[in-house]
Structure 1
């Protein structure tokens, strides 16, 4: 009984979200255009459970390039409406469209001159009739068996808010670098803000060998530095190749005499490289997407193509990028 009831809740909420797809229409596009043209901020408001959903929508907008904040409607009528300007757009959430605290601030919003986007389940409600744009988030039935607790309706409102935020993100051509600026803390911040320079092996730890050396000498460098590879440079110090311990093992299958041969016979010319200022997450992506197989090391080069460091996959693991 309990399991089936839980499954039914998920079915109803999934149906509520699916029902929104046909409603992504001209009104939705108009809402996106209105927000893009906004010279102020997006002010999200709502009471009760709708207010909690509104807080999440405001947070998502703010973190994806659309300046936004949440305004509690009960606090708004006691002075916080001073936060709203005529350049702002208000996004008001109310499933019924008749929530007293939300309705009470509408006359003031009109006087201030801010735009109003309503997210409601009733197109003929007071909120909808006073809005510039209405986003229909109505549901056929709540997931609550009593039909009382906001469940499917809040899920639908949250999904519509996400759709709006992502549409705006795409329209603004919001980049991962911009996203990183708003998420400096925790593992997400490390993944997005950490640069190659901060985790690479440089100086004495950076394995480098001249291209006129033997494979045996390259093996000694690889062993002493412990990164499983060494950069190969020409007479000017510019990178011309890389040798990994795997390359050497495969060469030894031909006989030990290869160790006395020039390392250029074994090295991989023009290897994948990265520069110090690039994000560590970008280095990880390069390693994982390398073909025909992923790689575990990347030479780090400066503008003159000279190797200034070596980055190993384990460095990214230790830094929490992976």
Structure 2
């Protein structure tokens, strides 16, 4: 007796549409997207990134962090850059955005691009391109970044905390979150290599130091950290921090993996990365070969930067990255 196939449920149909939209958006990104509409766009972004780096070296780290915070939450659509205005509550107000800075210099880059090509280059692409160029300034790999993203018109502050893993979250949760946006385990381990640069505020370290030192932390490194963070209740507004990597703090390299294998990571996620059986083999491989780390880091950055972008007639091209365009 012949069987009659049932029509897909509404849920299945909706899921299919969402998946189609996701893959369509990724496919519409392309290299040199602005070659006709704004040929100098990428050159202008690169020059601005270099100038800002020469004046304020830490801007390069901000560009990398911006890409992560923008793309892991729903879409690479520059929602991160929106200020609180009208019905929009800025994502910058979330505790997960603690320590992020240099947003004003994104406006510097955008203004330079706008002068050349008004309302042509999206803020979302500026986030991606500045991260690409910031990585190079930090001694990391040169990455061929696709463009063609458009800017969203809403903030995702209401769901931000459930999208961005916390530094104390379990490895199960961390891997699950990254898998949901298309990063496999090795790509996740490679992406966390961004902890090779920058610094961590004492607020996010003291849980491993007080009232007693975390036994998984190297004792000598713990002594150093207690000097950097002598107060178990640090003032969030005070400049109290430790560098992620004391050896090469401004270079994206595989020292991060060497450090965490020696139990010198600052955050619990660093320690878990080096000890969890699912991630440790990748940590060891990346620690052994800096070129291989750069290859995998490039792959991870590209996967992150192509998460569910708005393309074609979706969203808009903001004139000012801080605000949606007037309707």
Bucket of the pairwise TM-score, normalised by the shorter protein: under 0.3
Ranked by relative contact order (alpha carbons within 8 Å, sequence separation 6 or more), the top structure is 2
TM-score by length of 2: 0.25
TM-score by length of 1: 0.25
The structure with the largest strand share of the pair is 1
